[in-house]
Structure 1
């Protein structure tokens, strides 16, 4: 028996998930990691593993941050970290530079491409509380782990796809037999009816590897997309930030790092600690809330979704089709609006629980 978001007891089996992520310490990916670990401690979810992909950061840095995250939370022995794809299927730096020079706009966020690729551990940047000391990356690759897990639990696994889709594309290309065994994929990705962020038309996750997105969107699997259309409308403000960082009764290593890494904005100067009107999206975290309770979504539409791979002005652009879709697409649910007040109560609660995470009895 587990409690639903409204407090009603329901008999259910905890959903099994794989978090496929371009992981970071305490931005949206890292925040989702905290939420998932706390939900697992309550018996509401079973996190089989975290599969890391380059996106926000290069793979080595993402793996290092994920290892420290599970160790910090006290779940390193229960949630394995698996290293996946370091490069996109199609994009390379020369192509990206050519695109952005020809078609400027958006915020120009390049993620991993904005910094040199780390060649050794000496090139990595430690999280504020240091690198993991005893939690090691798993021997199996992310692709092999996805394939093996789906085969071990056919029809049971939800993949939270909160980074570029390279790992999932590779797993399903190399082992197409797993496709009908995947329960569902819930994405943070795409900009359907709103402008992009990295470019004027494309959202970062799908822009980083549009070929992978093009592949995965065509898989005959139940799919839910949480695009910029909704994440642009769910903004953390100062009041919510203060509930996490400035409640003296809820001070933990998570809330301390949250303040250090989110309090001063992306430029280190303009953020919640310096600007009372500052706001920011918390993109990926909406996917796990939707998984746990789909009624967080107050508006959805069912459409076919495609992504452009033309290496032009619209590279990585997502397009929804209410009818007459291109051949091969799968109809899916697109989340358009969230119950922000109820979501933020849920978000704050999970981010401010005691750490290390303790399993429920």
Structure 2
């Protein structure tokens, strides 16, 4: 029987790669995809989600949960890396269903309908999950597993000097989720960044003629160029694809149970993941954090996309 999962994501390029990996894998049933603010605003995230699902047209069509604005979010600008629309300026035209549920309500309803059977894969800021847990305080204990990308093991950031983007964007939400009773796995920046692809990655992805290949061929070139031109990198990092891989193939990662919290008030340290390794009773681990990943992880990702391409012809 396929394992049930909700995917919560902020609908940038690497989120789409992750969705391609998941939607065509028969081992898993994506019950719902929920959009959240992050690398793009709420309205754009909703448009991107609807466009991607329409273009991929998976056999098992998940329900859609819409993002709503986070009033406490900082002003961030990811356009230099992902384009104005978050998808390499593909500018897909799509209409968003007006009767779709909010993301947090869909998370609550889906988990409540399948207690102890649904995992949640969070690839963006944790706003939606935190709201769902506030809405239904019993929900964390009903989640099978909560897998997140976010934070940094060594306070070395990618949005500020010391903070990772997802936790910086909504540190209050991240803190609430880390402190919840859910069984949690965290993929920090150092581990997701360990998996790198050279700038010829498109040659290893599905070719045109499949829905997955056509979509990735439209959105990936912008990010590949931006990594070289804007960041001076000769490699591409797809953090959310690695997050999806940790859900699909957890044996490729080493995990350690650590007491974790998030700084929410610091002027210079907003969103910093704080790890407590002291040998004291009150410092017990509350989240399993990935500390390393096998060198073969990149090949697993390209193999997963090849499979998705074959199934989406």
Instruction: Please list, as runs of the form range in 1=range in 2, the aligned pairs for 1:294-309 lying within 5 A after superposition.
Output: 294-297=250-253, 299-309=254-264
Is the CA contact 1:51–1:81 (under 8 Å) kept in the aligned structure 2? yes
Which of residues 299, 303, 306 in structure 2 aligns to 1:349?
303
Cα deviations across residues 208-261 of structure 1 (Å, max 9, x unaligned)? 01011111100011100100120221111135443227x689893034224433
Q: TM-score, normalised by structure 1?
A: 0.76
Unaligned stretches of 5+ in structure 1? 1-12, 94-108
Q: How many residues align?
A: 310
Q: CA deviation at 1:77?
A: 6.7
1:99 maps to which residue? none
Q: CA deviation at 1:320?
A: 1.3
1:105 maps to which residue? none
TM-aligned CA distance change 1:163 to 1:322, over 3 Å = same
1:3 maps to which residue? none
Q: Distance in 1 between matches of 2:285 and 2:56?
A: 37
TM-aligned CA distance change 1:333 to 1:349, over 3 Å = same
TM-aligned CA distance change 1:137 to 1:15, over 3 Å = farther
Is the CA contact 2:263–2:271 (under 8 Å) kept in the aligned structure 1? yes
TM-aligned CA distance change 1:148 to 1:353, over 3 Å = same
Aligned to 1:316, what secondary structure does the other structure show? coil
Is the CA contact 1:305–1:331 (under 8 Å) kept in the aligned structure 2? yes
TM-aligned CA distance change 1:330 to 1:86, over 3 Å = farther
Q: CA deviation at 1:54?
A: 0.6
Instruction: Please list, as runs of the form range in 1=range in 2, the aligned pairs for 1:1-361 lying within 5 A after superposition.
Output: 13-24=1-12, 27-39=13-25, 43-75=26-58, 78-88=61-71, 90-93=72-75, 110-111=77-78, 128=90, 130-132=92-94, 136=97, 139-244=100-205, 252-266=213-227, 269=229, 278-297=234-253, 299-323=254-278, 331-341=286-296, 343-353=297-307, 357-358=311-312
Q: Distance in 2 between matches of 1:325 and 1:214?
A: 21
Is the CA contact 1:59–1:85 (under 8 Å) kept in the aligned structure 2? yes
> In terms of Rg, which structure is larger?
1
TM-aligned CA distance change 1:281 to 1:125, over 3 Å = closer
TM-aligned CA distance change 1:318 to 1:126, over 3 Å = closer
Cα deviations across residues 56-96 of structure 1 (Å, max 9, x unaligned)? 000111111111111111128712221123115x4455xxx
Q: Distance in 1 between matches of 2:162 and 2:281?
A: 19
Unaligned stretches of 5+ in structure 2? none
Is the CA contact 2:157–2:163 (under 8 Å) kept in the aligned structure 1? yes
Cα deviations across residues 165-201 of structure 1 (Å, max 9, x unaligned)? 1111111111102121011111100012251111111
Q: TM-score, normalised by structure 2?
A: 0.87
Q: CA deviation at 1:150?
A: 0.7
- TM-align CA RMSD: 3.3
Is the CA contact 1:19–1:50 (under 8 Å) kept in the aligned structure 2? yes
